[in-house]
Structure 1
Amino acid sequence: PGTHDGECREFSDPTNATRLGYEVGSGCLAASRWDELAGFCEGVEGCNLILGLNALIGRTNQTCPEDVDCHNSPGGHECCTTWTGSWNQSNAEALLRYTHEKNYSVYGLEFGNELAGTSGIEATNITPDVYATDFCTLKNLVESIWSSEGDVVPKVISPDNNFDATWYGDFVRLSFEKCGGADVVTWHQYILGAGRDEGASAKALDPAVLDGQIKLGGAIMEAVSDNTPAGAQEPEIWMGEAGGAYNSGRPGVTDAFMSSFWYLDGFGVLSEKGHKSFCRQTLVGGNYGLLRAEGGEGALAPNPDFYALKLWQDLMGREVLGVERSDGGEGGGDRDLRVYAHCRKGGGGVAVLAMNLAGDASKEAEVEGVDGSRRLDFVMTAGDGMDGQQVLLNGALLEMDGSDFPELVGREWQQDEAESGIGSIKLDAQSYGFFVFEGVSCGGKI
């Protein structure tokens, strides 16, 4: 690897002359580091590498006056985010050929990050036509390298940006015209706004804020579907980056129990809107990591969202079921009560996620057609407040055992514990739960 001229350069000193905060083209992914990462992933079950490629290499940033601070105050200064020229593929080609020669498995390659039109962050003037042309250069390069029989071709993914319906629609249409389209279309969302916003905690439990995903999820489905040629395979849609609050999250919100509500609601809504994956910002780091440093010497502990994700992955299958809401309409009914249903992962039943956003009232939901099933409950509540990091599963505190994560074990529902039937779900204020109904057929609506 190295940079486009073959030399491995260190990151430049911090500078306010660029939106990035350092010189574009400085910094380096050394071959030895790539070897370590690829080797690590090969040794971990279920690990898939997706690599983001720098789509600014080869382009030239407009020069701003010396008194313009592009890094901290780019607003109103078009020069900070205006780029000319085309992508230079030589550095990416060297990396990809090296990867293929080493027989490293790469699941996907993302082209650029937040560079799409006026909704971009690092660049705001790159048109769908220019971006599609450069994206197709990458796609053609990938197909030429992984061209042997038996090669598993990495997915090509783009544009990884805040959603803009017109820009996205044009990009999808033009990428199909130029090279047969992307494998995956991604977008970014920070539903709680800026990490410095003191109102982020209220937004995390506000049904009106969470409902915004319904409209956006549907809009990107429409942009992709309407611009895919008849008979062509539609690109998958992924949430390419979400961490609740941007600029490293907010302590006591995106690293706390309350964070699991926007996070899980995103899984539920976007699954209903045809999304296939949801990428979290981030695994470790900032105030929005799934894991946090604790105890020194590199020790890590789970934040509450780790448990939320683990339960979703363990229990919820790929097939999404319809949910009959109280008024029969999408986004209607009691919006403090959020309910999503999938076929159980691995088959043999139905899994339901239910969340109660209300701060002062319990909520109930009724699941029909589950009489005679075996029910397992995984009810999650805060151990030390909504802004805390302790989580109770069915009333028991989840704690690490040395370096081992606690096992998440459901509690079997007993008829004599409840006044109502097996399909009745009751949640205390500001709690959520997964409810598995084993032995029932899966399909239709609940």
Structure 2
Amino acid sequence: MGLCLLVCIISCCFISVSSQSAVAGNDNNSVVEGTVFIDGKYSIGKIDENSICATLDWWPPEKCDYGTCSWDHASLINLDLNNSILLNAIKAFSPLKIRIGGTLQDKVIYDTEDNKQPCVQFVKNTREMFGFTQGCLPMHRWDELNAFFKKSGAEIIFGLNALTGRSMKSDGSAVGAWNYSNAESFISYTVKKNYSIYGWELGNELCGSGVGTRVTAAQYASDTISLYNIVKKTYSSIEPKPLVIAPGGFYDANWFKEFVDKTGNSVDAITHHIYNLGPGVDTHLIEKILNPSYLDGEARTFNSLQSTLKSFCNFSSCMGMLSKQVFGSAWMASSYDTKTYCRQSLIGGNYGLLNTTTFVPNPDYYRYSKITDTGRLL
């Protein structure tokens, strides 16, 4: 509704809205009456025309948390691409950005000509990082996914494996340069097939203290520059070129400052993740969702990252900012110049916009479709 409000602001100069609202936390359920004035001559932030985004993940059916195995067949590897509800749910956004990635993306190899390993799928193994062995994306599945994406009109942001070639240290860090040969081969295959990619994103939650492991800002910057050069070379005769996007992790002020400083013009969009409500097992989850002051806490992250980017460049023209969240305010994100807001997830994980098994939209789907002012679905 927040973004709908912004659309309204653009179309009118000055409006007055009378409203009544119950006071949160007031046992007497008293009502406050007031008038809201909106000055439509000024905007507080700018977003992309196609700012709404949802994610597709790699988790196999064996992924379980807190006694619940919530991913079923929602993985990129086994998702039913022939389901008409899934297709129409994506088409209704016209277009919907889809960010492909997640925790296991940094354990995915691509079965292109350069790959000399067996193309096998993830196997649950608690001794392995992230609880699973290495997995593989067969090219025939990549072909199927792209045929589906073209039919749905989705714009794809693909998260690349950024851990290839690194050594894992006992302190939890991953050291050494990114071995990009498999990723480069995969990008070349994608170009040869004329598949449309909105952006290539490097790594998932490896910045700052990381999740599972971490990479230093200086090394990550060097690897992002390598990705930039690959994209520039492979798409040399193609315009517009996909965006180069990084680092796709939780915001750490010092890490991000160093990363942005050292990547310079070799990164087009900075991505960060916010899971401001914590784990789904939290017994106080509903209280947090209904508490505006708690949700306002995420504004500090948006504000700090915006300030970091502004300190290095003309923010409006230098780079954009993309945010990935399970729950939060798209309006708040946009007010800090977040260009794209990715909802985790489109399907799967007990928090998808679509029901994991039936594909029928959950209530939150309609909140997002309202933001894009569409009502088409079935």
1:290 aligns with 2:378: no
Question: Where does residue 162 of structure 2 map in the other structure?
Answer: 55
1:93 aligns with 2:184: yes
Q: How does 1:291-310 map to 2 (within 5 A)?
A: 291-293=354-356, 299-310=358-369
The alpha-carbon deviation at position 43 of structure 1 amounts to 1.5
For residue 120 of structure 2, the aligned residue among 4, 7, 10 is: 10
Task: Verify the 8 A CA contact 1:14 1:22 in the aligned structure 2.
Answer: yes
C-alpha deviations, 1:205-249, integer Å up to 9, x for none? 111111112221111101111123x6993210111x2113xxxxx
For residue 108 of structure 1, the aligned residue among 186, 192, 199 is: 199
The alpha-carbon deviation at position 97 of structure 1 amounts to 0.7
Question: Where does residue 122 of structure 1 map in the other structure?
Answer: 212
TM-score by length of 1: 0.57
Distance 1:127 1:232 in 2: 27
Give aligned pairs, total.
Answer: 268
Question: Where does residue 202 of structure 1 map in the other structure?
Answer: 287
Question: Where does residue 227 of structure 1 map in the other structure?
Answer: 312
For residue 226 of structure 2, the aligned residue among 109, 116, 137 is: 137
For the aligned residue pairs, the C-alpha RMSD in angstroms reads 2.1
Give secondary structure in 2 for the equivalent of 1:193.
coil
Distance 1:18 1:85 in 2: 20
C-alpha deviations, 1:115-173, integer Å up to 9, x for none? 0121x10323x21110000111011001000001x433111110011111111111111
Distance 2:261 2:266 in 1: 8
Task: Verify the 8 A CA contact 2:208 2:251 in the aligned structure 1.
Answer: no
More helix by share: 2
Greater radius of gyration (CA): 1
Give secondary structure in 1 for the equivalent of 2:349.
coil
The alpha-carbon deviation at position 5 of structure 1 amounts to 3.7
The alpha-carbon deviation at position 20 of structure 1 amounts to 1.5
Give secondary structure in 2 for the equivalent of 1:115.
coil
Percent identity at matched positions? 34
Question: Where does residue 165 of structure 1 map in the other structure?
Answer: 253
The alpha-carbon deviation at position 12 of structure 1 amounts to 5.3
Distance 1:301 1:191 in 2: 26
1:82 aligns with 2:177: no
TM-score by length of 2: 0.67
Distance 2:308 2:128 in 1: 32
The alpha-carbon deviation at position 13 of structure 1 amounts to 3.6
Distance 1:5 1:17 in 2: 25
1:267 aligns with 2:355: no
Q: How does 1:237-256 map to 2 (within 5 A)?
A: 237-239=321-323, 241-244=324-327
Give secondary structure in 2 for the equivalent of 1:290.
coil
Alpha-carbon distance change, 15 to 210 in structure 1, aligned in 2, over 3 angstroms = same
Distance 1:57 1:231 in 2: 32
Distance 1:138 1:157 in 2: 9
Paired AA for residue 322 in structure 2: W
Question: Where does residue 151 of structure 2 map in the other structure?
Answer: 43
C-alpha deviations, 1:163-197, integer Å up to 9, x for none? 11111111111000xxx231110100111111111
Give secondary structure in 1 for the equivalent of 2:131.
coil
Question: Where does residue 273 of structure 2 map in the other structure?
Answer: 188
Give secondary structure in 2 for the equivalent of 1:93.
helix
C-alpha deviations, 1:87-137, integer Å up to 9, x for none? 10110011111111111111111100000121x10323x211100001110
Alpha-carbon distance change, 185 to 130 in structure 1, aligned in 2, over 3 angstroms = same
Task: Verify the 8 A CA contact 2:122 2:136 in the aligned structure 1.
Answer: no
Give secondary structure in 1 for the equivalent of 2:183.
helix
Give secondary structure in 2 for the equivalent of 1:161.
strand
